[in-house]
Chain A
Amino acid sequence: MTPVTYHLRSLLVRAPTSVAAAVGVGLVVFVCAAVLMLLGGLRHALTVADDPRRAVVLREGSEAELTSQFEAGHASRVAAAPEVEAAQAEVVVTMTLARADGGGAANAVLRGVGPASLALRPELRVIAGRRPTPGAAHELLVGRALLGRYHGMHLGGTLDLGDGSSPAQVVGVFAAAGSPTESEIWADLGLVQTVAGRRGLYSSMLVRLRHADDFARLAAWVAEDRDAGLVAERERDYLDRQGDRLAGFLLGIGALLGVCFWLAAAIGVTVTMHAQIARRRREIGVLRALGFTRASVLTGFLFEASIISVAGAALGVGGAALLADARFSLVNVTNWSQLIFELRLSAGVVGAALGIALVSGLLGGLVPALRAASIPPAHAVKR
Chain B
Amino acid sequence: MTLASLAVRNLARHKVRSGLTVLAFAVAVLAFVLARTVVAAWHAGEDGAAVDHLATRNRVSFTLVLPRGYIDTVRAVPGVRAATFANWFQGRDPRDPRHVFTSLAVDAATYLDVFTEIQLPAAARARWLADKQGVILGAELATRLGVTDGDTLVLNGTIYPGEWRFRVAGRFTTDERAPSRRHLLLRWDYLNDSLPAWRRERLGWIVSRVDATASTAAVSEAIDLAFASNDVRTLTMSERAVQQSFRGMLAALLAALDAASAALLAIMALILGNAIAMGVRERTAEYAVLTAIGFRRRHLAGLVLGEALATAAAGAGLGLALSYLLVDRALGGWIEDNFSGFFPWFHTPPSVMLAALGLALAVGAGAALVPAARVGRLAVADALRRVDE
Q: Give A contacts to B, CB under 8 Å.
A: 13-14, 16-17, 20-21, 23-24, 27-28, 30-31, 34, 38, 59-63, 66-67, 69, 71, 93-96, 99, 103-107, 110, 161-164, 195-197, 201, 229, 249-250, 253, 256-257, 260-261, 263-265, 267-268, 270-272, 274-275, 278-279, 328-331, 333, 336, 338
The residues of A that contact B145 with a CB separation of less than 8 Å are none
Task: Say how far A353's CB is from chain B's closest CB, in angstroms.
Answer: 15
The residues of B that contact A250 with a CB separation of less than 8 Å are 253
Q: Give which listed residue, B61, B159, B263, B342, contacts A27 with CB less than 8 A.
A: B263
Q: Give which listed residue, A13, A27, A103, A278, contacts B266 with CB less than 8 A.
A: A27
Q: Is the CB of A103 within 8 A of B198?
A: no
Cα-based distance from A227 to B157 in the complex (angstroms)? 16
The residues of A that contact B58 with a CB separation of less than 8 Å are 162
Q: Give which listed residue, B14, B60, B252, B270, contacts A268 with CB less than 8 A.
A: B270
Q: Is the CB of A94 within 8 A of B61?
A: yes
Cα-based distance from A267 to B235 in the complex (angstroms)? 54
Q: Is the CB of A162 within 8 A of B60?
A: yes
Q: What are 24 A-to-B residue pairs whose CB atoms are below 8 Å? A: A17-B274, A20-B270, A20-B274, A61-B158, A67-B158, A93-B64, A104-B244, A107-B61, A164-B231, A164-B233, A196-B61, A197-B65, A253-B257, A257-B31, A260-B30, A261-B263, A261-B267, A264-B25, A264-B31, A268-B24, A271-B21, A272-B278, A279-B388, A279-B389
Task: Say how far A175's CB is from chain B's closest CB, in angstroms.
Answer: 21
Task: Mark contacts of B266-309 with chain A using CB atoms, 8 A cut-off: 1 yes-contact digit, 0 otherwise.
Answer: 11001101110110001000000000000000000000000000
Q: Give which listed residue, A21, A96, A267, A330, contacts B253 with CB less than 8 A.
A: A330
Task: Give 5 A-B pairs besides A17-B278, A20-B270, A264-B27 with Cβ atoms closer than 8 angstroms.
Answer: A61-B156, A93-B63, A261-B31, A275-B278, A331-B250
Cα-based distance from A208 to B85 in the complex (angstroms)? 41
Whether A331 touches B271, Cβ cut-off 8 Å, given contacts A253-B38, A271-B20, is no
Q: What range describes how many residues of B lie at the interface?
A: 35 or more
The residues of B that contact A96 with a CB separation of less than 8 Å are 60-62, 235, 245
Cα-based distance from A198 to B337 in the complex (angstroms)? 35
Q: Is the CB of B61 within 8 A of A271?
A: no
The residues of B that contact A196 with a CB separation of less than 8 Å are 60-61, 64
Cα-based distance from A31 to B24 in the complex (angstroms)? 17
The residues of B that contact A104 with a CB separation of less than 8 Å are 244-245, 248, 251
Q: Is the CB of A21 within 8 A of B274?
A: yes
Q: Is the CB of B232 within 8 A of A263?
A: no
Q: Is the CB of B27 within 8 A of A263?
A: yes
> Does B148 interact with chain A (Cβ within 8 Å)?
no
Task: Say how far A49's CB is from chain B's closest CB, in angstroms.
Answer: 23
> Does B256 interact with chain A (Cβ within 8 Å)?
yes
The residues of A that contact B245 with a CB separation of less than 8 Å are 96, 104-105
Cα-based distance from A329 to B254 in the complex (angstroms)? 11
Q: Give B contacts to A, CB under 8 Å.
A: 14, 16-17, 20-21, 23-25, 27-28, 30-31, 34-35, 38, 58-65, 90, 92, 100, 156-159, 161-162, 198-199, 231-233, 235, 244-245, 248-253, 256-257, 260, 263-264, 266-267, 270-271, 273-275, 277-278, 282, 341-342, 388-389
Whether A95 touches B60, Cβ cut-off 8 Å, given contacts A31-B260, A105-B245, is yes
Residue of A nearest to B199 (CB): A69
Residue of B nearest to A161 (CB): B60
Cα-based distance from A268 to B277 in the complex (angstroms)? 13
Cα-based distance from A104 to B251 in the complex (angstroms)? 10
Residue of B nearest to A18 (CB): B274
Task: Say how far B253's CB is from chain A's closest CB, in angstroms.
Answer: 6
Residue of B nearest to A64 (CB): B158
Residue of A nearest to B257 (CB): A253
Cα-based distance from A281 to B76 in the complex (angstroms)? 87
The residues of B that contact A161 with a CB separation of less than 8 Å are 60
Task: Say how far A56's CB is from chain B's closest CB, in angstroms.
Answer: 16
Q: Is the CB of B24 within 8 A of A94?
A: no
The residues of A that contact B25 with a CB separation of less than 8 Å are 264
Task: Say how far A140's CB is from chain B's closest CB, in angstroms.
Answer: 14
The residues of B that contact A201 with a CB separation of less than 8 Å are 198
The residues of A that contact B199 with a CB separation of less than 8 Å are 69
The residues of B that contact A328 with a CB separation of less than 8 Å are 252, 256
The residues of A that contact B60 with a CB separation of less than 8 Å are 93, 95-96, 161-163, 195-196
Cα-based distance from A28 to B24 in the complex (angstroms)? 13
Cα-based distance from A261 to B263 in the complex (angstroms)? 10
Whether A329 touches B251, Cβ cut-off 8 Å, given contacts A67-B159, A271-B24, is yes
The residues of A that contact B17 with a CB separation of less than 8 Å are 271, 274-275
Cα-based distance from A164 to B231 in the complex (angstroms)? 6
